[in-house]
Amino acid sequence: MKFLRFPRRAVSRRTGAAPGFTLLEVMVSLAILAIIMTFVFTTYSASLATKDYVESRDELYHSVRTVFYRMTMELNSAYFTSPPRVRITPARERPWQTEKIDIALGRGIFYGEQTRENDRDLDRLLFFSLSHFLFLPLGIDQETERLESESAEIEYLGRVDYEKDITYLIRREDLLYHWPVPANQGASYAMLDNLRALNFRYYYQEQGIGKWLDEWKSTDRPKTPAGLPQAVEVTLTILDREKRELQFSTLVDIPRGFYRK
C-alpha cells in the first residue's frame, strides 16, 4: 500500500532551519488574525452592550416594583373618617401648623382627579392613610409625640420640569390635614424621573355590578359615591433608556372600601 507523502521544506545545511515564510503566507496569516480579532472585539462589544441594557432594564423594573409596593401598602391602609383634632398653637411654637387645619375637621377625603400637563396624562390622587411609619427619637417633647401618629395625608402626582423636559412622579406626605386648602405642604420627593403618564381608575360595586370611574371625588356628591373605592388600578407609563414607552399596571385592593349613594 502506498502512502501519500507531502513535500518537505528544504532545510538549510548551515543552520538546519527551514527558510522564512513567503510574503503571501504572511499576508494570509495577518488577514486570518485580523478576522479573529474583529470577531472577538465585536462579540465583546455586543456582550457589554447587552450587559448595560439588561442592567438598565433591571433597574427600571426594580424602580417600578418599589413604587407599586409603596402605593399598594398605603392604599391598603386608606381610610375614610374624620381627621384627628389637633390643638392650634401659636406659630412660633409650631410654625408648620396653621389655623386652616380646622377646615378638614369632620371630613374624610379620597380625591382622585384626571389632569393633563404638557400633553401628558398626569392624574392626581390624595387620600388619608394609616401607613405612616411612626418614628419618635429619644428626648422628643410630648407635644410632638401626641401630634405624630400612624395617620397621614398622602398624595401622588406628576410634575413636569420644562427646562430639562423631564416628568417626575412625586409622592407627598403630611402629618397634618389641609383639605380643601391646596395640598402643597409636608415632605415631598421624586420617586421616578422618567415618567411619561400617570393614570388611576377606581372600582366599586353597585347592586352586585362592578363599575369603573376615571375620577373619584368624595367631596363631589352625587357624581361620585361616598366613601372609598373598593380597588384602584394604577398605570405607569415609563420611558426607558432608548426613549421607548413601557406601560406597567397593578390593581390594589382597599379593604376598607365601601359604596354609599
- How far is residue 134's CA from residue 148's CA, in Å, rounded to a whole number? 7
Q: Is 167 part of any domain?
A: yes
Over the stretch 170-212, which tens digit does the pLDDT of each residue have? 999 887 666 555 456 778 899 998 999 999 999 988 877 888 9
pLDDT band at 27 (very low <50, low <70, confident <90, very high): confident
CA 37 to chain centre: 42
Check residue 85 and give its pLDDT. Answer: 45
> Which whole number is the average pLDDT over 64-91?
74
Specify the number of domains making up the chain: 1
List the grid coordinates of 248: 406597567
- Which of 202, 199, 177 lies closest to 259, judged by CA? 202
Given a cut of 70, whether residue 71 has pLDDT beyond it is: yes
> Which whole number is the average pLDDT over 158-162?
90
Least confident of 13-22, 50-59, 86-95, 151-160: 86-95
Given a cut of 80, whether residue 145 has pLDDT beyond it is: no
Q: Is 22 part of any domain?
A: no
Check residue 5 and give its pLDDT. Answer: 55
Q: Is 23 part of any domain?
A: no
Containing structural domain, residue 80: 50-134+144-253
Residue 57 to residues 63, 88, 191, 194: CA-CA distances in angstroms? 10, 49, 17, 13
Given a cut of 50, whether residue 61 has pLDDT beyond it is: yes
Check residue 214 and give its pLDDT. Answer: 92
Q: Is 220 part of any domain?
A: yes
Check residue 17 and give its pLDDT. Answer: 47
Q: Which DSSP helix (H) or strand (E) runs through 110?
A: strand 110-113
Q: Is 19 part of any domain?
A: no
- How far is residue 11's CA from residue 258's CA, in Å, rounded to a whole number? 99
Residue of 105 and 259 predicted with greater confidence: 259
Residue of 129 and 46 predicted with greater confidence: 129
Residue of 100 and 140 predicted with greater confidence: 140
pLDDT band at 84 (very low <50, low <70, confident <90, very high): very low
Check residue 74 and give its pLDDT. Answer: 93
Put simply, whether the predicted model's pTM sits higher than 0.85 gets the answer: no
Given a cut of 60, whether residue 113 has pLDDT beyond it is: yes
Q: Which DSSP helix (H) or strand (E) runs through 37?
A: helix 23-76
Q: Is 55 part of any domain?
A: yes
Q: Which residue in the block uniquely carries the three cell numbers 503566507?
A: 25
Check residue 226 and give its pLDDT. Answer: 62
Given a cut of 50, whether residue 101 has pLDDT beyond it is: no
Q: Is 1 part of any domain?
A: no
Given a cut of 60, whether residue 93 has pLDDT beyond it is: no
Q: Is 15 part of any domain?
A: no
